[in-house]
Chain A
C-alpha cells in the first residue's frame, strides 16, 4: 500500500438542464483529504455520483477525471479504481464479517485469509470473522466497512458523509481512524459533507459549494 496515487479533476462541470450545479477544477495528492462542503441540494452528492460513475442520465457532465494521469471518466464504475464509503456501513447482510472483507479483495491476491485476519486485528475485532454483521455495534460495522474499502485496494477514495449517522461520541473517534488510515495508505480522498466538524477533522483544503 505504499504506492502513491493522485486524483485530478479537470474542468468538471455538471449541469441539470441549463443550471450549472457544480463546477470544479482541482487536484488531490497522495494522502490528502479534500472536503467539499455544501447544504443538501448543492450538488455535492451529484459530484460523487459522477466521479464514481453512477450519474443519473438527466444530468450532463463535462470534464476529465484523471487517476494517476489516466482518464477514467469513460470507464465503467467497477474499473475506475475509486472506492466509496457511504453514510451507512452497508455490510452485506448475507455474508459473514470476513465474507464482507473478502468481497472486494482483488481475485489474484494470495493469502486472503491471513490478510482478513490481520485487517480484523487492525481494527480491534480479532475473532469476529465468522460473525453475522447484524450482531455488530454501529461503530464496529463502520470499522468493518472502512477495512473492506481498504482491502479492495482502491487508487482513490470518495466519502459520502460517512460520519453523519454515527452517535456523537463515536463520530470523532471514527473520523480520526478513517483519516489516519487513508493517509497511511497514501490515498487521495474526496469528502463531501455538510458538517463543518468533518472538514475540521479532515484537516485538508475545503471547497464550499454554497458560494
Chain B
C-alpha cells in the first residue's frame, strides 16, 4: 500500500515546494507581501529593478555564460566521444574524469582561480623566464568583466557531468556496429561517429543538457568566486538584494527572481532555436556524403580538449593543497619556501562544526532520497514495470533556477513558522538530491533481469523477500553509487543551505564560499580542499564496500 503511494509522494515533494516558492516570489515581485507592508499589487518593484545600475549587463552575462558554457562543454564531450575507441588513453581519461564529477563546484572554482590568477600557479611557472614579470601583473583575469573565467569554471564541472550522462546511454545505441557499417561505406572513423552516432545520442542527453543551461545561467557560488563583480551576474545580484538589511529590497529581489526565471527560460528557448539550426546544417552535411574531410582535425581536438580540462581541474585541486600548507611564498617562485601545517592546525577547531553539519545534512537527505527512490522503483516492478509518467517532473528542480524559487520557499517557511534548522536545510537539499539519486539508480533497477525475481518467487519467496534477499544485495553496487552521488550533490549545495539555514546552519560549502570575499588564500586552500575531499569519501566507500563484501563472489565483482 505504502509503496503504491511512493511515486505520488515524490512528485508532491518536488513540485509543491517549487510551485509554492515561485508563487511567493511572484506575489512580492508585484508588491504583495503583507508581512512587509505590501498589501496592494503594484509595478514598483519592477521599476526599482530596472533602475538598478548595470542590470542589463548582469542579465547579458548570465545569459551568455549559461549558453556558452553549455555549448563548450557539450562540444568537448562529443569531440572526445567521437574519438574514443576504448584504448588505454581513453580508459585512463574516463577514470580521471569520474572523480571530477564529485568535486563541488565551489572547490573546482577556487582551484581554477588559484591557477589562473595573476599571482597563480601558471603565472608563477612562466615567470620570470617567459613573461618577464617580477611581480604579479595588474590584470583582471579572475572575475573578468566578460565572465570568461566564470565560463571556464563552469566548463570544468559540466564536462564530467555530460560525459557520464552520455556514457550511461551510449550502450543503447550499439555505436560500434553503426560505425563499422559506416566505415564499410567508406567513412573515416571519427566522421562516421559524428554522422551516424551523434544524431541519435543527442536526443538521449537533451534533458541533462537543459539542466546544464539552467544551472549555468543561474549559478551563485561559482559566480561569486569567478564571475564579474561590477556588476555581478543576475543571480549574485539577487542574492545581494535579498540579504540586504533593508527589508524593502526583498520586493526588488523577488522581481529579480522572476526576471532570472525569464533569463533561464530565454536561454533554453535560444538553445532550442540553435538545436533546430544545427540539425538543419547537420542534415545537409550528412547528405553531402563527405567521407574524409575534417577527420584529422576532429580527431586531434577530441583528445586534446578533454585532457586539457582534466589536467586543469586536477592542477587546481593540487593548487588548493599547496596553498593550504604554504609558508612564505614570494611571487615568481613556483613553490613556497617552506611547508607549514599551521593553517590546518588553526582551522581544525572551526572545521569540526561545519563538517559535522555537512555530513549530517548530506546523510539525512540522501537516506530519505534513497528510501523514496527505492519505494518508487520497487512499486514500478510490482505493478508490472509500468513507469509513472509524471516522473519527468523529477527534472523540475534541475531546470527551474534555484534562486527563482528558493526565496519564495524561505518566505513560505517563515509564514508557516518553521525555523531554520538542520532539518529544514536537509529538506531543501532533498529537492536536489532526490532527482540525482533517482536518475543514477533507475537505469540499473529497471534493467535488472526480471528472471531473478521470477525465480525467487517460484522458489516461494514473497515480494518483500525478493526485494530484501535478491534485488537489494544484487544491486548493492549501484545503490551505493547512487548514495555517493546524493552525498556529493548535498555537500556541494550552497544556495539552499545559505537561504533555508538563514546563516544559522553553516556547512563546509557556505564557509568556503564566504571566504572568497576575504581573499586569504591559505584559508581558502584548507576549506576548499576539505570540501573537495568529503564527497570523495562517499565514492571510496561506494567502490570499496562491494569489493570487500563480495570478495568471494566473482560474478558480483563487475558492474551488474
Chain A residues in the interface with B (C-beta under 8 A): 52-54, 56-57, 76-78, 80, 82-84, 86, 88, 90, 92-94, 103-104, 106, 132-135, 148-149, 152, 154
Which B449-496 residues have C-beta < 8 A from chain A?
Answer: 451-452, 454-463, 465, 469-470, 473-474, 476
With contacts A132-B555, A134-B555 known, what are 20 further pairs, Cβ within 8 A?
A: A52-B458, A78-B457, A78-B462, A80-B458, A82-B458, A83-B459, A84-B454, A84-B458, A86-B451, A92-B470, A92-B474, A93-B474, A93-B554, A94-B473, A94-B556, A103-B456, A103-B469, A132-B552, A149-B459, A152-B460
Give chain A residues whose Cβ lies under 8 Å from the Cβ of B461: 78, 103-104
Give chain A residues whose Cβ lies under 8 Å from the Cβ of B454: 52, 54, 77, 84
Given A77-B458, A92-B470, A148-B459, also A56-B553 (CB < 8 A): no
CB-contact partner of A83 in B452, B458, B470, B552, under 8 A? B458
Give chain B residues whose Cβ lies under 8 Å from the Cβ of A82: 458
CB proximity of B275 to chain A, nearest CB, Å: 35
CB-contact partner of B474 in A76, A77, A80, A94, under 8 A? A94
Does any Cβ of A come within 8 Å of B550's Cβ? yes
CB proximity of B471 to chain A, nearest CB, Å: 11
CB proximity of B58 to chain A, nearest CB, Å: 54
CB proximity of A5 to chain B, nearest CB, Å: 15
- B473 near A104: Cβ-Cβ < 8 Å: no
Does any Cβ of A come within 8 Å of B384's Cβ? yes
Q: How far is the CA of A148 from the CA of B101 in the complex (A)?
A: 44
A-B contact pairs, 10 of them (CB 8 A): A78-B457, A78-B465, A83-B459, A94-B474, A103-B459, A103-B469, A104-B461, A132-B553, A152-B460, A154-B458
Q: How far is the CA of A164 from the CA of B125 in the complex (A)?
A: 66
CB-contact partner of B554 in A77, A92, A104, A132, under 8 A? A132
Q: How far is the CA of A66 from the CA of B473 in the complex (A)?
A: 35
Closest to A84 in B: B458
Counting from the closest, the 10 A-B pairs by CB-CB distance are A104-B459, A93-B555, A134-B554, A84-B458, A77-B457, A134-B555, A78-B457, A152-B459, A94-B473, A93-B556
Give chain A residues whose Cβ lies under 8 Å from the Cβ of B455: 84, 86, 90
Closest to B476 in A: A94
CB proximity of B444 to chain A, nearest CB, Å: 15
CB proximity of A73 to chain B, nearest CB, Å: 15
Q: How far is the CA of A124 from the CA of B3 in the complex (A)?
A: 44
Give chain B residues whose Cβ lies under 8 Å from the Cβ of A76: 457, 463
CB proximity of B90 to chain A, nearest CB, Å: 28
CB proximity of A79 to chain B, nearest CB, Å: 8
- A106 near B474: Cβ-Cβ < 8 Å: no
Q: How far is the CA of A132 from the CA of B470 in the complex (A)?
A: 16
Q: How far is the CA of A106 from the CA of B462 in the complex (A)?
A: 12
- B458 near A78: Cβ-Cβ < 8 Å: yes
Q: How far is the CA of A93 from the CA of B459 in the complex (A)?
A: 16
Q: How far is the CA of A54 from the CA of B474 in the complex (A)?
A: 21
Q: How far is the CA of A80 from the CA of B458 in the complex (A)?
A: 8
- B460 near A78: Cβ-Cβ < 8 Å: yes
Given A57-B384, A103-B469, also A90-B451 (CB < 8 A): yes
Give chain B residues whose Cβ lies under 8 Å from the Cβ of A80: 458
Q: How far is the CA of A154 from the CA of B452 in the complex (A)?
A: 18
Give chain B residues whose Cβ lies under 8 Å from the Cβ of A56: 384
Give chain B residues whose Cβ lies under 8 Å from the Cβ of A86: 451, 455
Q: How far is the CA of A45 from the CA of B460 in the complex (A)?
A: 21
- A94 near B550: Cβ-Cβ < 8 Å: yes
CB proximity of B231 to chain A, nearest CB, Å: 57
- A92 near B457: Cβ-Cβ < 8 Å: no
CB-contact partner of A134 in B456, B470, B476, B553, under 8 A? B553
Per-position binary interface string of chain B over residues 542-556, scored 1 when its CB falls under 8 Å from any chain A CB and 0 otherwise: 000000001011111
Give chain B residues whose Cβ lies under 8 Å from the Cβ of A134: 553-555
Given A77-B454, A103-B469, also A94-B553 (CB < 8 A): yes
Per-position binary interface string of chain B over residues 356-389, scored 1 when its CB falls under 8 Å from any chain A CB and 0 otherwise: 0000000000000000000000000000100000
CB proximity of B557 to chain A, nearest CB, Å: 9
Q: How far is the CA of A52 from the CA of B469 in the complex (A)?
A: 21
Give chain B residues whose Cβ lies under 8 Å from the Cβ of A78: 457-458, 460-463, 465
Give chain A residues whose Cβ lies under 8 Å from the Cβ of B463: 76, 78
Q: How far is the CA of A90 from the CA of B552 in the complex (A)?
A: 18
Give chain B residues whose Cβ lies under 8 Å from the Cβ of A77: 454, 457-458
Q: How far is the CA of A193 from the CA of B422 in the complex (A)?
A: 61
Give chain B residues whose Cβ lies under 8 Å from the Cβ of A104: 459-461
Closest to B462 in A: A78
Q: How far is the CA of A133 from the CA of B550 in the complex (A)?
A: 12
CB proximity of B148 to chain A, nearest CB, Å: 51
Give chain A residues whose Cβ lies under 8 Å from the Cβ of B451: 86, 88, 90
- B458 near A92: Cβ-Cβ < 8 Å: no
Q: How far is the CA of A114 from the CA of B451 in the complex (A)?
A: 29
Give chain A residues whose Cβ lies under 8 Å from the Cβ of B476: 94
Q: How far is the CA of A54 from the CA of B465 in the complex (A)?
A: 17
The winner among A83, A84, A92 for most chain B CB atoms within 10 A is: A92
Closest to B472 in A: A94
- A135 near B554: Cβ-Cβ < 8 Å: yes
Closest to A80 in B: B458
Q: How far is the CA of A152 from the CA of B457 in the complex (A)?
A: 11
Closest to A83 in B: B458
Closest to B458 in A: A84
CB proximity of B386 to chain A, nearest CB, Å: 8
Give chain A residues whose Cβ lies under 8 Å from the Cβ of B474: 92-94
CB-contact partner of A90 in B452, B469, B553, under 8 A? B452
CB proximity of A54 to chain B, nearest CB, Å: 6
Give chain B residues whose Cβ lies under 8 Å from the Cβ of A57: 384
CB proximity of A45 to chain B, nearest CB, Å: 12
- A133 near B555: Cβ-Cβ < 8 Å: yes
Q: How far is the CA of A54 from the CA of B462 in the complex (A)?
A: 14
Give chain A residues whose Cβ lies under 8 Å from the Cβ of B469: 103
Give chain B residues whose Cβ lies under 8 Å from the Cβ of A103: 456, 459, 461, 469
Q: How far is the CA of A92 from the CA of B474 in the complex (A)?
A: 8
Q: How far is the CA of A76 from the CA of B456 in the complex (A)?
A: 13
- A93 near B553: Cβ-Cβ < 8 Å: yes
CB proximity of A120 to chain B, nearest CB, Å: 17
Give chain A residues whose Cβ lies under 8 Å from the Cβ of B470: 92
Give chain B residues whose Cβ lies under 8 Å from the Cβ of A106: 460
Closest to B452 in A: A90
Q: How far is the CA of A90 from the CA of B458 in the complex (A)?
A: 13
